[in-house]
Structure 1
Amino acid sequence: MTSACFYTKKGRFLGFMISGHSEYSEEGSDIVCAGVSAMTSLTVTCLENSGTKFSFTSDESKPQAVLKTEEFTQISENILESLYREVVSLSGEYPAYIKVEKREI
């Protein structure tokens, strides 16, 4: 199962940690994992293009991706909230394969 935890502070999105394989199908043909990976990659690209300062680590061997913004901006919050909404939507279609939570820090 893929687990996605989104971190907020005072209700504002600051980062996320996404880990695990969905196990929807075998590696290389898993559309659920591919969807989450594509959304995560797009989020990182959008944050880079917006000039947002953030740290991002990814480990294919686990697999795990962790992102934390270094400063709050409305643009970064909108980008992260968009990822959250899309992952929640995907989890609605594949609830046995994705778990999503939002955690106030």
Structure 2
Amino acid sequence: MIEARFKGKDEKFEQIFVTGHANYKPHGEDIVCAAISTATIMTANMIEHLGLQDYILVTMKDGYFKLDVLKEAHLINQVLSNLKYTIIELEKQYPKYIKTIKEG
């Protein structure tokens, strides 16, 4: 199961932590893992493309994505809200494979 933790208050994100594997299908065929991976990587790339990479710290490896917000910015919160919305929508479609947790 994939766990997505969103830490912060009032949609002001401090940290996003996504771990695990969906195990929906075998490796290379798992559309749930692919969707989550795409969403997290696209989010990090978008923040970098907007020139705000100094506001975050991203750590990624297989089955692990961590994004720490180092400096608050309205645009970063909007981008991260979109990631949260995307993962929640995926969780609605695949509740056996994704779990979202809000902390703070």
The answer, yes or no, to whether TM exceeds 0.5 is yes
Q: What RMSD in Å do the two structures reach over aligned CA positions?
A: 1.1
Structure 1 residues 82 and 11, CA gap change in structure 2 (3 angstroms): closer
Letter of the 1:22 counterpart = A
Q: What SS does the aligned partner of 1:14 have? A: strand
**C-alpha distance in structure 2 between counterparts of 1:11 and 1:81, whole Å:** 7
Equivalent in 47, 55, 62 of residue 57 of structure 2: 55
* Paired positions, count: 102
Tell me, in whole angstroms, the C-alpha distance in 2 between the residues paired with 1:95 and 1:9.
24
TM-score between the two structures when normalised by the length of structure 2 = 0.92
| Cross-structure match for 1:102 | 102
Other structure's SS at 1:83 match: helix
TM-score (norm 1): 0.92
After superposition, the C-alpha distances for 1:8-37 in whole angstroms (9 at most, x for unaligned) are 135412320000000111111000000000
Identity %: 29
Q: Is the 8 A contact 2:18 2:65 kept in 1?
A: yes
Shift of 1:58: 1.2
More displaced, 76-85 or 46-55?
Answer: 46-55
Amino acid at match of 1:48: E
For 1:54 and 1:13, locate their aligned partners in 2 and report how far apart those are by CA, in whole Å: 11
Structure 2 spans left out of the alignment, 5+ residues: none
Counterpart in 1 of 2:18? 18
The amino acid of 1:50's aligned partner reads: L
Cα deviation, 1:49-95, whole Å, max 9, x if unaligned, reads 222221111122xx211011111111000000100000000000000
Instruction: Please tell me whether residue 87 in structure 1 is matched to residue 98 in structure 2.
Output: no
Q: Is 2:11–2:81's contact at 8 Å kept on the other side of the alignment?
A: no
Runs of 4+ with deviation above 2 angstroms: none
